[in-house]
Chains A and B, each alone.
Chain A
């Protein structure tokens, strides 16, 4: 098993502002580890994590790869960006952090350049008005069907991804994977479920999206 990043530098004060790695984060790590051979074959040059929180996912992927890649991590919460950089550094990795909403400011330059996009979104079903613009609430409150934040990113994914690029996303059952699959089918993308796990009331899945082959 590939080692889980060391996060012993993070304190309860950090977790007042930044999402503490939990079952969803660890499922994400397990899914990426399961994808290890495919990720090595992909040889990503540019990886983008949206909503990097503690930074544990990018740090893990960065250490899982057998060669260097450029990691850029965004979060709308500046505290999360600072923690992301620290987590990477503590684990001997080097990632770039950017405070922004989703990937604003990175297009058009990253158009068609990103080989791996990672997103553990705010997926919890909440009233729309709870979808937050920052702070700890932004890490989980997903609004209607838990989809309000991820739905804003979906149309941007085809723009970001390189021809061979892949997008990994965590969802819960309530987010409606059949509906998400239809949205990506319209973009010319296939969806696969990499790994699922029940955690208390949540049924979590890591989904993977990639361009259909032989588009005619």
Chain B
């Protein structure tokens, strides 16, 4: 699971959970992979990202490096910044661990890089 995917996931599917966002990450295996850097794609994705959530997630995994906590208004021209964002969004992958609902602590297991969001009937 990439942090881009984590940025999009909520546990509001559990009965009684209001926002369920962001999910906490408990990772036992994080891998770094190589993805071709495409600054135009990263620039297109940034407006879709909840920056604060991305930054906190990267930090919690120890991979924020020096990614700024705030989004600079002129990021489009800043290649270094786009590269760091690319790395955090696409190259940091949680292979094993759990996503944890911030309201109920319900755990969603991540196995082989795939989060499992399925709920039991009584949780819906």
Q: Report the interface size class on chain A.
A: 20 to 34
Chain A residues near B44 (CB-CB < 8 A): 45
CB-nearest residue of chain A to B111: A78
Contact present for B8 and A109 (CB under 8 Å): yes
The minimal Cβ–Cβ distance linking B36 to chain A, given in whole angstroms, is 7
- Say yes or no: B114 contacts A108, CB within 8 Å: no
Q: Restricting to B11-36, which residues have a CB under 8 Å from any CB of A?
A: 11-13, 21, 35-36
**Which of A4-12, A94-102, A144-152 sits within the interface?**
A94-102
* Contacts of A44-99 to chain B: CB distance below 8 A: 45-46, 67-70, 72, 76, 78, 81-82, 85, 94, 96-99
Contacts of A104 in B (CB 8 A): 13, 117, 119
What is the minimal beta-carbon distance from A70 to any residue of chain B, in angstroms?
6
The answer to whether B115 has its CB under 8 Å from any CB of chain A is yes
Residues in chain A near residue B38, CB distance under 8 A? 67-68
Q: Establish whether residues B10 and A105, one from each chain, have CB atoms under 8 Å apart when the complex forms.
A: yes
- The count of chain B contact residues (Cβ–Cβ below 8 Å) is 31
Nearest CB in chain A to that of B38: its residue: A68
Q: Point out the residues of chain B lying under 8 angstroms from A94, CB to CB.
A: 35, 90
Given A94-B35, A99-B118, A105-B9; A70-B4 close (CB under 8 Å): yes
CB-CB under 8 A for A67 and B9, given A82-B112, A100-B117, A105-B117: no
If A67-B38, A68-B36, A68-B41 touch, whether A96 touches B1 (CB-CB below 8 Å) is yes
Q: With an 8 A cutoff between CB atoms, is A110 at the interface?
A: yes
Chain A residues within 8 Å of B1, by CB: 96
Decide yes or no: A99 and B45 within 8 Å by CB, A72-B8, A105-B9 being known contacts: no
Chain A min CB distance to B53 (Å): 9
Q: Is the CB of B45 within 8 A of A70?
A: yes
Q: Could you list which residues of chain A lie within 8 angstroms of chain B, going by C-beta atoms?
A: 45-46, 67-70, 72, 76, 78, 81-82, 85, 94, 96-101, 104-110, 113
Contacts A/B (CB < 8 Å), 9 sampled: A67-B40, A67-B41, A69-B41, A82-B112, A104-B119, A106-B8, A109-B8, A109-B50, A110-B8
Chain B residues in the interface with A (C-beta under 8 A): 1-2, 4-5, 7-13, 21, 35-36, 38, 40-41, 44-45, 48, 50, 90, 111-119
